[in-house]
């Protein structure tokens, strides 16, 4: 910021091979929930895209929308994801 450059904040999905998602049981639970773990190389490609986008915030995650949306929206509407084309299509089909 001192140089007049913007920062970028990235919200990460689960990574394979390290962190809280490491381990077969955790990976299987996340996969069933619609958030499969990302290979480190794929995550780094996502980081590069986020940095090149010029946006101040972004999400890098491998989301299986068909699994994720039903459980995430079961209790109430979720405006955070409601405008994503993938989500709108799934919700319209219900």
Instruction: Give the span between the Cα atoms of 3 and 84, in whole angstroms.
Output: 34
pLDDT at 1: 64
Whole-model pTM: value is: 0.78
* Residue 75 token pair: 């209790």
Strand positions, DSSP E, the chain: 9-12, 57-60
- The rounded radius of gyration (Å) of the Cα atoms in the chain is 15
3-state secondary structure of 70: helix
- What are the mean pLDDT values of the chain's consecutive 10-residue runs (94 residues total)? 82 88 89 94 95 92 94 84 88 81
How many CA atoms within 13 Å lie on the side-chain side of 5? Answer: 5
Q: What is the pLDDT of residue 12?
A: 96
Residue 9 confidence (pLDDT): 94
Q: How many CB atoms lie within 10 A of CB 80?
A: 10
Q: How far apart are CA 56 and CA 9, in angstroms?
A: 6
Q: Where are the domains of the chain?
A: 1-63, 64-94
The pLDDT value recorded for residue 50 is 93
């Amino acid at each position: 910021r001192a140089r007049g450059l913007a920062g970028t904040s990235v919200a990460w999905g689960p990574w394979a091979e390290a962190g809280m998602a490491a381990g077969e049981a955790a990976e299987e639970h996340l996969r069933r929930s619609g958030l499969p773990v990302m290979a480190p190389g794929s995550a780094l490609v996502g980081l590069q895209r986020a940095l090149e986008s010029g946006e101040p915030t972004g999400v890098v995650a491998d989301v299986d929308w068909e699994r994720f949306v039903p459980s995430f929206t079961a209790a109430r509407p979720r405006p955070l994801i409601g405008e994503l084309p993938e989500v709108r299509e799934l919700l319209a089909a219900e």
